[in-house]
Structure 1
Amino acid sequence: GGLEGLRFVRLPHEAMLRGADVWDDMFVDEMELGDPTRLETLRGVRHTRLMPLGGTRGLEGVLVAGRSPHCVIFARGDVRVHPLKLDRGEGVRSAARFTNPQCADGVVFIADKGRDRPRGMLKICSLPDMAAAADAPWPMRVRHCGVTVHSIAYHASTGCHVAIVSSWHDLPPERRPEGAYEGRVPPLREERFQLQLLAPYTLETIDTYDFDHEAGEHALALSVCHLKNTRQSDVLIPFICAGTGFVNGESDFARATGRIYVFETSTVVGQEGIEGKNTFRLKSLWKSSLEQDIKGPVTAMVQCEGYLCVAQGPNPGMIGGSKVYVYECVDDSLVGRAFYDAHMYVTSMKSLKCYVAFGDARHGVNLLRWREDIRKLHPLASDPLPMSIYAVDFIVLGQTFGVIASDDRSNVLVYVFNPASPEYRRGQLIVRADIHAGSGINRFARWAMPFRPAYGVRICAHYATLDGAVGAVAPLAEEPYRKLLALQNLLVTAVPHFAGLNPKTWRLFRPELCLKRRYAKNLLDGLLLARFLALDFVLQAQLAGAVGSDRNAILGLLHDIVTGCVVT
């Protein structure tokens, strides 16, 4: 009688609770029941495994056990579905709550690797205290630092993070301009920049370096670069490189200059009375002010085959605008080896092996090649159309790579350099794909996808937008792309859309001026394809059959994309 008023609602989510194919939903003992085809047997023994969390670590919800275990969290009237990752990617056969003095409020799992490992393994786990962090699309840990974070990089050898932060302070009386101020005037303030070294896991600040705020120095670039050294030419040493610029007004005697800083981390044992506990400190190795300030602000930095590529400028005294310099680490200093005349202002720069791609604030994307034998930056191709680029990076599929870029009109473009293509024009990049993202993307980060023998090496590009969104762009082979493209065209008319808007028109590339080329509509809409997961079984089978495939094959393609872009 108490369940008469119970109502159910169907909520869509993008979590893939299945494996790459239908057999991955099951476990080994369920496959070995004697049925030659195994299909009818698997249908008979398949059952749902749900375990209520019951307030474990403050989490209210259920744990869905299977090949891809997930936690369904109920918080603030909304449902959050988060993947549960175990060591070596095991699946979960069953689970239960576990509490004892050594592991208070924990969970015990029976993990199973499936066909790779026929025997299960018992694991006792303790979930992190993430009651507040789980109430978000992605599980997260928030650290309030009280300053503005401009750039952050990961130092892999120590597990630390390096960040450039700034804060506003009142201008000291001795530095205030002369003259009397009458009436109510706003306080004079200045922005001070600082380099912080953050501890592993806790992200606590363990060391800092203050830039010259009295001279108006602003930190503009940060990168962890693995460079060669003349003392150890066969070993790449990780260094923390930072680039700055001076804001000195517009007078002829206050031209814009910059500096390059090179740091390394040192290990300190038993620091601050903690015996036997290791900590890390920043050690300044070299800065350009010891010799001469850079003739322009340093706007981007990246490593390229053990060398440091630095984008400098613009400066009114520099001919040709910005420049890209290549430095070599010689003993304890940087020595310039080559340069390239860039355009107006380099906003972003990335490298892949011997290739360097950079985006300009007005002149689009440029692709260079570093020739170590002759120590020269050789220009390969560039974008012929003027564009304001925010960020660039590389994506890889097998033996080919592309340059992905975002502009100020919330577009994403993928360029390729292929002189053998009939579309190639001398010195020009080919636009292979373009799409309207809907948000300004200001940062890309490469991430290796799981290896598949049929596809080879795959590297996707995660991105972050100016309005707080996070996404990914993943390369696809020809056959999966054709199937998903046909499915996307059917979903345009098969499902209702928000406010009746057409997703094809929304995703169309939006140029700043008149487009002098054809649209390269070769990027799939992941949000539209994800709606296939929320459809009922009959409609999924009908749409899959209309594209010449079946439901399990389509779900397998989507599962490969979703799991390949997951950051673990």
Structure 2
Amino acid sequence: MQCYTELLPPTGVTHSLALPFTSESANNLVVARTSRLQIFSLLNVDPQPGGAEEQGVSKLILEREYALPGTVADLCRVKLLNTKSGGEAILLAFRSAKLALIEWDPRRYGICTISIHYYERDDSTSSPWVPDLSSCGSILSVDPSSRCAVFNFGIRNLAILPFHQPGDDLVMDDYGELDEQRLGSHGPGSGTDCDLTKESTMHGTPYTSSFVLPLATLDPSILHPISLAFLYEYREPTFGILYSQVATSNALLHERKDVVFYTVFTLDLEQRASTTLLSVSRLPSDLFKVVALPPPVGGALLIGSNELVHVDQAGKTNAVGVNEFSRQVSSFSMTDQSDLALRLEGCIVERLSETNGDLLLVPNTGDLVLVKFRLDGRSVSGISVHPVPPHAGGDIVKSAASSSAFLGDKRVFWEVKMPIHYFWADQSEDDVYEDDLYATVPEVVVDGRRPSAESSGSNLYNFREYDRLLNIGPLKDIAFGRSFTNLGAEENASNGSGLELVASQGWDRSGGLAVMKRGLELQVLNSMRTDSARCVWTASVAHRDEAVSKNTTQGEERELHHYVVVSKATSVDREQSEVFRVEGQELRPFRAPEFNPNEDVTIDIATLTSKNRVVQILRNEVRSYDGDLGLAQIYPVWDEDTSEERMAITTSLVDPYVAILRDDSTLLLLQADDSGDLDEVELNEQMANSKWTSCCLYFDKTGIFSSMRATSNESTQRNMTLFLMTQDCRLFIYRLPDQKLLAIIEGVDCLPPILSSEPPKRSTTREALTEVVVADLGDTWSSFPYLIGVVHVCRVPLGVQLDYSWAIQQIPIGEQVDHLAYSSSSGMYVLGTSHRTEFKLPDDDELHPEWRNEMTSFFPEVQRSSLKVVSPKTWTVVDSYLLGPAEHVMAVKNMSLEISENTHERKDMIVVGTAFARGEDIASRGCVYVFEVIKVVPDPERPETDRKLRLVGKEPVKGAVTALSEIGGQGFLIVAQGQKCIVRGLKEDGSLLPVAFMDVQCHVSVVKELKGTGMCIIADAVKGLWFAGYSEEPYKMSLFAKDLDYLEVLAADFLPDDNKLFILIADSDCNLHVLQYDPEDPKSSNGDRLLSRSKFHTGNFISTLTLLPRTSVSSEQMISDVEAMEIDVKIPRHQMLITSQNGSVGLVTCVSEESYRRLSALQSQLTNTIEHPCGLNPRAFRAVESDGTAGRGMLDGKLLFQWLDMSKQRKVEIASRVGANEWEIKADFEAISGEGLGYL
């Protein structure tokens, strides 16, 4: 019984779309990250006065994001007759033939599902020779006029979804009762998640009945569809499709040359028929994509691996070849630009402007290329391709792109792997694998005329980066190592440094490392020992001579003094305030005799009057100081009218106001004048006579709480708000200085997801609230008010990114990192990297003398592998070991090996397995390297270069070495070489002596041992998994059990649970399989068969599975302390860490029987009661088709954690249905949420 929890969501962007979504005039970017949907808006930021930037920039602001129970296959924009926001809608295609139509709901500030359409159970997909829908790609395209959408699924099926238009005949009919009865009865997907508004429309739904047609009904020759897209400027819905009658093949190019067709069809939606408008035959066989072009160019651009072909509306073609192979692979007429030597496989094309036809093309090398069209009126007479030079931003990407979106005004979004310039101390440039927003400068205008399209495009555009999104995928391998901190040796030895998770991420030149930790490791710039410190405050105040008025512009620099105040408790109600001044990176004692001389208890310290005054709130008085901490004013806290003694309990300071809540629950509001003196603000009757439990001042810079627009002179005053909470948990919002009541929010202690002035319907269950804080959450460019409980302010190390729940630091390497291991003896990381290099046929091959006459200059590229040693102190490469031209690193492991047969001494070694791949017709060979990371004399200018790889042993073997693992208790290792697994021992002469072996299947992908037991798993890439054992007396390997389902194993590992032994397998279809070895079960055939216990669909291509120990969480520690006397030996707990290709990190945790029943019931309640984004079914998403032999299913942690986002009343209701207490569910969540990774 296990639970799958997603610790980090997918970070890699798969699809992107730009449209006005949140409103009619909005400019939004919608991003799909596999199973996560994010909605951004563009914020135009003006340049700061006196700043380095002369032009404004655009920033991406995250509006909402949703975890989808489905894998997004495509995104398209749809212009409906009416939407709730006035903007456009989005049509999403999902894996397994599903479509969802969504819109933006301003009232809920989120998406609203209009309809969900299922085509996975269509009769056309039931043929036995048709591949499964999950194995087929899909294409979604929407007509530019939003008249219909076509969805190509299951290779040769075409679903057509028409949309209502203002010109429809049905729109002219009156809306009657029959239309109301037909509401939701159109098409296979008629369910809605929310009521549709019916203003300005005569239909119950914005679409009509959809239908599915085989592609053969359009043309019987469409047997192998390649790509399709709707075209512009047609009166009827018209699309162009690229297809072939026989499958294209590079190996059969001499027989299947120029076999691709391009045909344009127009659709008759009423008759469900089509008409062929034009067809172009004998196109190059390497064409793979159709891109529809808007006016003024029109037509379609066909993209191939070696050429670009334009087809206009009349069928006229223009083509250009971009490398020397374009002439060899095709006889199609084209312009020769082979000197560009471009590789267009997997390239992305996006338009640059709405006024001309220029396109921006990004090939897999990351170079920026302009595609320009020569126009003769409305006709295209030629195509030209122009690489963007580096000085114009042509080298800003440097890596392949996967998706793009045109944002208007020459702004383009690319999902790329690219280098970003970080302005770090002592560093100049770092590569980051991220998604970026780019823009081009306006076109150069000469004599009032726009340059012609025939001119070179290199002088028309200048690209620069605007914004970027974090992306750490794909994660290929992970290692755990000691984190390097700035603590001294003595302190480090006493406290110990935790572990950090280091993963290899990125592709090609954007490859590097991602250092991840669950918490922050703060950089200690300076430390000072002090006794009995109760609290610490910091204050930055202008020097007395440099103090300026509040009208000082932002461009003027001011000299600030930085103070640190430490409060030391001397007695129960007395404390001493010790003041330090920050000078550089040191704290020096500062003498301030007037600073709290009476040793009263400090409540808060802050600055007012544009940092000209330091205000200290004590229990009995408020003291104001100047820039040198000289006393300027004392204001008493007690009531001067009644002379009753009062004490301050809590306080809130926002310039120029100070709000103090006293011990009798009354409010004292002070305001600072221009000179900095504090005066009491007279409160209205309601504020003065009410009893308050919490107060908070907030400067409403976004205008959310303002009832009217303030003038420029009153902006500061009108945007100041005061939040007060009464004893019955009613939240009052006042505007200052007129003390106008803006809103009263009741039922705050019910903790609703959205605060509203409407009272809660059910308020029987409440939380005990003690404090309310309203603060801005966000970055420098955008922040909005949220209601939060606790704020932690700290300084994080430079380069650490906090976009997700874990702290992530990206380390550029400049090469693709395929494998890595942590050398525990030296504290270094050893990487197996690869980089592209040109491949040339050998001249000395005796069997192929014709290779000597190879005249091409456009050589193919292959990977060249090497080993690198990286120091965690500086995260730089300190040593390298280059491998042979055809030798590839397959595995890198750190092992404790026996290095002496006589003394049986053991030492940590780095073992590397390689494969020599010279071609598919040549048998592979392999080699096992054993390295030791030794200490050497460093370079005086680089003290971190004190480590180096020393080759200890090298053993060439027959067959590729695909997997390695330590095995047994004598310091041996098991090597998967070809179709054998051999246990070897390191001899003193450096050779590896075989002692035991086992014949295996085709290609061993995983070999792992359950540490210290001799039991191991041997997983094959196509033939399933074997469970075997190794014995030392005598040396032999024995097969225990097999997986009879023949899974395609990508990753696997053991998962012990108490006295049960489970094996977790990740297959090639994003599924997790839980197998169990139980020889006592009759279904296991005396233990010869591994039993399938559960199957779970993750939606991510899993790259690694790693068994980790699980530390006890707080709830388990309480139980273990009670039962400590009853248990003699504690059974260790384990969990499985999962990394994926899209950058997500997951965790599989074993749960007890009681917890499983409780969480399973909760999961069923949440599945049936809460609204799911896009109308998807999470139960269907996680289900895996099987023969029914699997047992209990794995729990979905992502679905379970949605219970925490509910209101207090809703939580209690669902918990009561489950039959559990709220604290029991929270205790279960603590165990599955990653809190067991206490060492990270």
Taking the aligned partners of 1:196 and 1:258, their CA distance within structure 2 comes to 20
Partner of 2:1170: 495
1:243 Cα deviation after fit: 0.9
2:958 counterpart of 1:287: no
What's the counterpart of residue 1079 of structure 2? Answer: 419
- Is contact 1:339–1:376 with CA below 8 Å preserved after alignment? yes
> 1:369-417: per-residue Cα shift (whole Å, max 9, x none)?
1111111111111101121110011222234332111001111011111
Q: Which amino acid aligns with 1:163?
A: L
2:876 alignment partner AA: E
> What residue in structure 2 maps to residue 242 of structure 1?
912
2:875 maps to 203
In structure 2, what residue type is equivalent to 1:178?
R
Write the letter of the residue equivalent to 1:375: Y
Could you tell me which residue of structure 1 aligns to residue 959 of structure 2?
296
Q: Is the 8 A contact 1:103 1:126 kept in 2?
A: no
Deviation, 1:466, is 1.7
Change (3 A) 1:494 1:284: same
Answer yes or no: is the 8 Å Cα contact 2:520–2:807 preserved in 1: no
Cα distance between partner residues in 1 of 2:1053 and 2:852: 48
Q: Give 1:170 shift.
A: 3.2
CA distance in 2, matches of 1:559, 1:12: 24
Among candidates 470, 474, 494, match of residue 1145 of structure 2: 470
Q: Tell me which amino acid in the other structure corresponds to 1:342.
A: V
Partner residue in 2 for 1:391: 1051
Task: Choose the corresponding residue for 2:889, options 219, 228, 240.
Answer: 219
Which amino acid counterpart does residue 282 of structure 1 have in structure 2? L
Report the AA paired with residue 164 of structure 1: G
**Alignment partner for residue 975 of structure 2, among 286, 310, 315?**
310
- Equivalents in 2 of 1:103, 1:399: separation in Å? 55
Inter-partner Cα distance in structure 1 for 2:1200 and 2:536: 32
Question: Any conservation in 2 of the 1:474–1:565 contact (CA below 8 Å)?
Answer: no
When residues 245 and 77 of structure 1 are mapped into structure 2, their CA distance, relative to the original with a 3 A threshold, is closer
Task: Name the counterpart of 1:40.
Answer: none
Structure 1 residue aligned with 2:835: 167
Which residue of 2 is the match for residue 158 of structure 1? 826
Matching residue of 2:853: 179
Mapped to 2, the partners of 1:131 and 1:272 lie a distance apart of 26
Asked if 1:526 is matched to 2:1228, the reply is no
Offset of 1:263 from its aligned partner? 0.3
Partner of 1:365: 1025
1:323 equivalenced with 2:977 (yes/no): no
1:522 match: secondary structure: coil
C-alpha change, 1:415 and 1:104, in structure 2 (3 Å) is farther
Is the Cα–Cα contact under 8 Å of residues 194 and 211 in structure 1 kept in the other structure? yes
Are 1:191 and 2:863 an aligned pair? yes
Letter in 1 for 2:982: Y
Taking the aligned partners of 1:493 and 1:165, their CA distance within structure 2 comes to 48
- After TM superposition, give the deviation of residue 233 of structure 1 in Å: 5.9
- 2:772 aligned with 1:100, yes or no? no
CA separation in 2, counterparts of 1:381 and 1:197? 39
1:265 aligns with 2:933: yes
Aligned twin of 1:428: 1089
The verdict on how the C-alpha distance between 1:255 and 1:180 changes in structure 2, with shifts beyond 3 A counting, is closer
2 CA distance for matches of 1:77 and 1:343? 43
**Cα offset for 1:238?**
1.1
SS at match of 1:178: helix
Which amino acid in the other structure matches residue 312 of structure 1?
Q
Unaligned runs of 5+ residues in structure 1 are: 1-8, 15-56, 59-74, 106-124, 314-321
Answer whether contact 2:520 2:796 (CA < 8 A) is retained: no
Instruction: Indicate conservation of the 8 Å contact 2:887/2:916, yes or no.
Output: yes
The answer to whether residue 1221 in structure 2 is matched with residue 550 in structure 1 is yes
Question: Using the alignment, how far apart are the partners of 1:560 and 1:201 within structure 2?
Answer: 33
1:350 alignment counterpart: 1008
Q: Cα 1:209–1:414, aligned 2, differ >3 Å: closer, same or farther?
A: same
| Map 1:71-86 → 2, pairs under 5 A | 84=519
Q: For residue 465 of structure 1, what is the amino acid of its counterpart?
A: S
SS in 2 for 1:187: coil
Amino acid at match of 1:294: V
Q: Distance in 2 between matches of 1:466 and 1:421?
A: 36
Alpha-carbon spacing, 1:188–1:224, altered in 2? closer, same or farther (3 Å): same
The 5 Å alignment of 1:404-415 reads 404-415=1064-1075
Secondary structure at 1:192 match in 2:
strand
Which residue in the other structure is 2:680 paired with?
Answer: none
- Note if contact 2:932-2:952 (Cα within 8 Å) is conserved in structure 1: yes
Q: Aligned partners of 2:1044, 2:910: CA distance in 1, in Å?
A: 35
Provide the aligned C-alpha RMSD in A.
3.4
Which residue of 994, 998, 1002 corresponds with 1:336?
994
Match for 1:376 among 1025, 1029, 1036? 1036
Offset at 1:180?
4.6
1:418 aligns to what SS in structure 2? Answer: coil
Q: Which one has the bigger helix percentage? A: 1
| Structure 1 residues 465-510: Cα deviation after superposition (integer angstroms, max 9, x where no partner) | 1222111111112221111111111111121112222111111124
Counterpart CA distance in 2 for 1:414 and 1:163 is 31
Residue 193 (structure 1) shift: 0.5
CA contact (8 A) 1:396 1:457 kept: no
Question: What is the Cα deviation at residue 248 of structure 1?
Answer: 2.1
Q: 1:564 to 1:11 in 2, by over 3 A?
A: farther
Q: Secondary structure at the match of 1:142?
A: strand
Flag the 1:491–1:304 CA change in 2: closer, same or farther, 3 A.
Answer: same
Question: In the alignment, what sits opposite 2:740?
Answer: none
Cα deviation for residue 191 of structure 1 reads 2.2
The CA distance in 1 between the partners of 2:1160 and 2:838, in whole Å, is 57
Deviations, residues 504-530 of structure 1 (Å, cap 9, x unaligned):
1111124xxxx4442334311010011
What is the CA–CA distance in structure 2 between the aligned matches of 1:507 and 1:201, rounded to whole Å? 42
Query: How far, CA to CA, are the matches of 1:437 and 1:93 in structure 2?
Result: 48
Q: 1:200 to 1:86 in 2, by over 3 A?
A: closer
Q: Are the structure 2 counterparts of residues 419 and 460 from structure 1 closer, same or farther at C-alpha, using a change threshold of 3 Å? A: same
Asked if 2 retains the 8 angstrom alpha-carbon contact of 1:472 and 1:565, the reply is no
Q: Secondary structure, in 3 states, of the residue corresponding to 1:387?
A: coil
Aligned to 1:536: 1207
Alpha carbons of structure 1 residues 435 and 212: separation in structure 2 relative to 1, 3 Å:
same
C-alpha distance in 2 between matches for 1:475 and 1:93? 41
Partner of 1:336: helix, strand, or coil? strand
User: Structure 2 CA distance, aligned partners of 1:128 and 1:232?
Assistant: 51
Deviation of the 1:539 alpha carbon: 1.2
Deviation track 1:18-52 (CA, whole Å, cap 9, x = no partner) reads xxxxxxxxxxxxxxxxxxxxxxxxxxxxxxxxxxx
Distance 2:1091 2:899 in 1: 37
1:540 Cα deviation from its structure 2 partner: 1.1
Distance in 1 (CA, whole Å) between partners of 2:822 and 2:1203 is: 36
**Deviation, structure 1 residue 307:** 1.4
Q: Which of the pair is proportionally richer in strand?
A: 2
Q: Does the C-alpha gap of structure 1 residues 439 and 497 become closer, same or farther in structure 2, counting only changes over 3 Å?
A: same
* 1:460 matched to 2:1135: yes
Q: Secondary structure at the match of 2:1184?
A: coil
Q: Aligned to 1:496, what secondary structure does the other structure show?
A: coil
